[in-house]
Structure 1
Amino acid sequence: PEEASDVEYVFTGHGFDAQLSYLFLNNYEIIGRFSHQNPHSDIELLAPKTNQYTLGITKYIWEHALKLQAEVTNTHFQYFDHSKINDWYIRFQVEIGI
């Protein structure tokens, strides 16, 4: 690295994702998702433990080839020094498939 603060590493560790969804007869779908990542001890100084919670809605316009999606996500980061950060984001997406 050119500077002492430039560090390259590969994320290793373990985690899991879980998702529940329900598609209504009017082609609206609600989703709930939970994700957890726990970095390996070799990189725990560089990467935080992460829990992510998402709620969303999808509207299928034309089968599964055209859909609109919106979701809100809250991410909890816990760093090696036990400091914590909460992050929020909202995502809108249009998906066109074949």
Structure 2
Amino acid sequence: MAASKKAVLGPLVGAVDQGTSSTRFLVFNSKTAELLSHHQVEIKQEFPREGWVEQDPKEILHSVYECIEKTCEKLGQLNIDISNIKDNPTSCFMEKVEGLRP
């Protein structure tokens, strides 16, 4: 049985949207701006003081990996080639080894 050919729409643009309560990864067709697929994961929040909100950077990183993986799986189910997804670099700076948590 021959494998089905993947549709090449490229280049595709991948975007991580990191919010206060969730992480999303979205993939768009760069020529049409059409949203092809996305996945969203809720992240835990802590409120140590009035007006403060904290998240665990390791949980955020894990949620980014999960969102990218699930979005790419969905693109695969749509038979879209994922080899041409582009994203800008993203950084998370730490003050100490354990992060910025109290």
What TM-score, normalized by structure 1, do the two folds share? Answer: 0.32
Hey, which of these two has a bigger chunk of helix by percent? Answer: 2
Hey, which of these two has a bigger chunk of strand by percent? Answer: 1
**Taking CA–CA contacts closer than 8 Å with sequence separation of 6 or more, which of the two structures ends up with the larger relative contact order?**
2
Of the two, which has the highest radius of gyration? Answer: 1
What TM-score, normalized by structure 2, do the two folds share? Answer: 0.31
